[in-house]
Amino acid sequence: MPTKAERTTAYIIETVSPIFNKHGYVGTSMNDLTEATGLTKGALYGNFENKEALALASFEYNSKRLLTAIDDKLNTEGTALDKLFSLTDFYRNYDTFTASMGGCPVLNVGVDAKFNNALLKSAANETIRTIEGKIALILENGVRNNELKLPVTPLQFAKQLYTMIQGAIAMATITGDRKYLINTIAYLDVLVKKEIKK
C-alpha cells in the first residue's frame, strides 16, 4: 500500500499534468499549480526539487499513459495488418483519448520545450523514438511473416507513418477541426491496404 507521501506525489502529478501539457513549462506558474492542487508552494517543493522536476514527472505520467494505450492496441491478436489497423483506429479518436491530458503530450511538450527546456525536449524526443520503434517492430514482423511489403526499411516507414499521424494531430489541434485527423487516418488505412499489404 502506498505511503501518504507517495499518494501525495501521485495526486500532485495527476492534478498538474494536464496544466503543464496545456500551458507549457514557461506558461505554467507556481500559482496555477498551488491553485489546482490546493497545496502550498512549500508542499509542492517538499515533493519535487523544483518546477522543472514536476514538469518532467508530469510529462512522463502522460507519456506512460500514451505508451500503455499504444501497447494495448499493438499487442492485440492477429496479423501485422490487424495491429496496424488497431493503431490507426486508436489515432482516429486520439483527440478524445488525450482530452483529459490537455491534448497530445508529444505535440504540446515537444513544441513548447524545443527552445526553453532541454530536459523536456529530450523526454519528448525519447517518446517519439519509442512510438516509432513500436510501429517499426510490427512492420518488421509483417515483412518477416510475408504479410507486408515495404518500399523502405521498417523504421523509415514507421517514421513516415508517425509523421503523417502527428501532422494530422497538429492540424486538428491548431484549427479545432478533427476532420484533419479523421481524413488522414482514413487515407493511411487505404495506403496500408494498397501499398504495403501483400
Per-residue pLDDT of 73-92, as tens digits, reads: 999 899 999 999 999 999 99
Q: How confident is the model at residue 133 (pLDDT cuts 50, 70, 90)?
A: very high
Cα three-residue angle 128-169-190, rounded to 5 degrees: 95
Residue 162 has pLDDT above 90, yes or no: yes
Q: Domain of 106?
A: 4-196
Q: Say how far apart CA 88 and CA 96 lie, in whole Å.
A: 14
User: The domain that contains 10 carries what CATH number?
Assistant: 1.10.357.10
Task: Tell me the three-class secondary structure of 69-125, residue by residue.
Answer: HHHHHHCCCCCHHHHHHHHHHHHHCHHHHHHHHCCCHHHHHHHHHCCCCHHHHHHHH
pLDDT band for position 107 (cuts 50, 70, 90):
very high
Per-residue pLDDT at 5:
81
Paired with 148 in beta bridges are: 197
Q: Give alpha helix (H) positions in 114-178.
A: 118-144, 154-175
Q: Is the pLDDT of residue 45 over 90?
A: no
Question: CA 89 to CA 12: how far, in whole Å?
Answer: 32
Q: pLDDT over 90 for what percent of the chain? A: 91
Mean pLDDT value of segment 97-118: 95
Give mean pLDDT, residues 168-187. 97
Taking the model in full, what pTM does it have? 0.94
**Residue type at 41 in one-letter notation:** K
Q: Could you identify the residue written with the cell 506525489?
A: 9
For the chain, the domain total comes to 1
**Amino acid residing at 167:** G
